[in-house]
Amino acid sequence: MAFEFNDNAQLDIERFSAPNSFYIDHVGTPIDYFDFTGRKDRGKDYDVKVIGTDLLYLQDFADEAAKEGLFLVACTLTAGVYNVHKETAKLSGFAVSNAHLGWGNLHWNYWRSGRYGQRYVVNGIQSTNYDYPVTAWNLIRPFSFPVCCDGFDPEKRVRLQSGTRTLYVKVEEAEEDLNAEMVTVKGSVTFTTIDA
């Protein structure tokens, strides 16, 4: 078969932190993977050192807030005036100022693609992710296939079938043998589906 599982690339958990974060919508929760071993020893930490987003913390605990660094604020422009954007926070369910930049909403809105597995818990919700690309945890050995009538387009993903799993491969290198009418491809799995 043309692919192999790279166990070293698989994470069990991703953890997030940022300065001046106190309330759950900005503190967030880890992204917890349970595709394979159920272990929690292979984690990745994202520690934002100087950018805060929790405006409510800044208002409630101004004396305790760090005196260095910056605060990132999502604003909407209305009639020439910038207002702090308020939206429903994914974790608390409340309308929260600057919630768009809190970990809970960032995870839900922007972190569902490129994950380390297709089954995970984000914001306390078990998710099965077949709609978004997955980080290449399967590595492709070079594989060959015949070139058909339309030719081969290296900009498109190559689709492979492996049992009940369909793999979509991002082409990193391709070599075409015009005499044999074969293409040899090196690449990585970027998206998989499990077929019924």
**CA dihedral of residues 121, 124, 125, 128 (deg, nearest 10):** 0
Q: What is the pLDDT of residues 128-173, one digit of tens each?
A: 665 555 554 555 577 788 877 666 777 777 777 766 667 677 788 8
Residue where a domain stops, chosen among 84, 110, 128: 128
Confidence of residue 9 (pLDDT cuts 50, 70, 90): low
Q: How many domains does the chain have?
A: 2
Query: What's the domain range around 65?
Result: 7-128
Average pLDDT of every residue of the chain? 79
Type and span of the H or E element at 106: helix 103-110
Q: Kindly state the tokens that stand for 169.
A: 């491969």
36 and 84 inside one domain? yes
124 and 145 inside one domain? no
Residue 16 neighbours by CB distance under 10 Å: 20
- pLDDT of 15 higher than 60: yes
State the pLDDT at residue 143: 77
149 and 106 inside one domain? no
**CA-closest candidate to residue 48, choices 24, 70, 67:** 70
Residue where a domain stops, chosen among 128, 148, 174: 128
47 and 120 inside one domain? yes
* Cβ-Cβ contacts under 8 Å for 137 (sequence gap 6 or more): 5, 6, 9, 10, 116, 117, 189
